[in-house]
Amino acid sequence: MTMIKRLLELANKLAEDGAHSLTLKRRAVSTAYYAVFHALAKLCADEMLEDRRSSEYERIYRALDHGTLKTAFNSQPLSQIPEIKTIGNRAVMLRSERNRSDYLPSQHLYTKTQCLDLVRSARIAVAALGRWSDEHRRTLAVHLLSKNRSS
């Protein structure tokens, strides 16, 4: 089982077990986001390099940034390609929820159902990435990892 699948399973378990625990629900949401983030980082590295054992692969994998992820998904061309836009919307929403989960002091962030819905959304996003064409994967990798410069 891959790390991404394990993160999704852990997020689901935390959400299921967290009916009466805000801490478990917070961790479930954060873990669900990180499953998507790692899936995107892996996609980028896989598109750029074949040798997963190289130090360059790790460098590309680690190049994805949380802040630029939102910017890239909300910019052209990623925001204009329906398949990518759908995943982008999920990734950006999960990132926002992860920030809420990790940083807000509120005692009533999520119900168990809301938490499970967020985990399900992460699972859908990860599964969709695996079904994309080479062209969409390459486009996503290039735009997530490179800075968009204006003319």
Domains of the chain: 3-145 (1.20.120)
pLDDT in the model for residue 150: 62
With tokens 């499953």, the residue in question is 35
DSSP H helical segments within 18-111, as ranges? 22-48, 55-61, 66-73, 82-103
Cα 30 → chain centroid: 10
Pairwise CA distance, residues 25 & 16, whole Å:
9
The pLDDT score that the predictor gives to residue 151 is 56
| pLDDT of the chain, 151 residues: tens digit per residue | 699 999 999 999 999 998 788 899 999 999 999 999 999 999 999 999 887 888 899 999 999 988 888 999 999 999 999 999 999 999 999 999 999 999 988 777 888 999 999 999 999 999 999 999 999 999 999 999 987 766 5
> By C-alpha distance, which of 89, 148, 120, 140 is closest to 8?
120
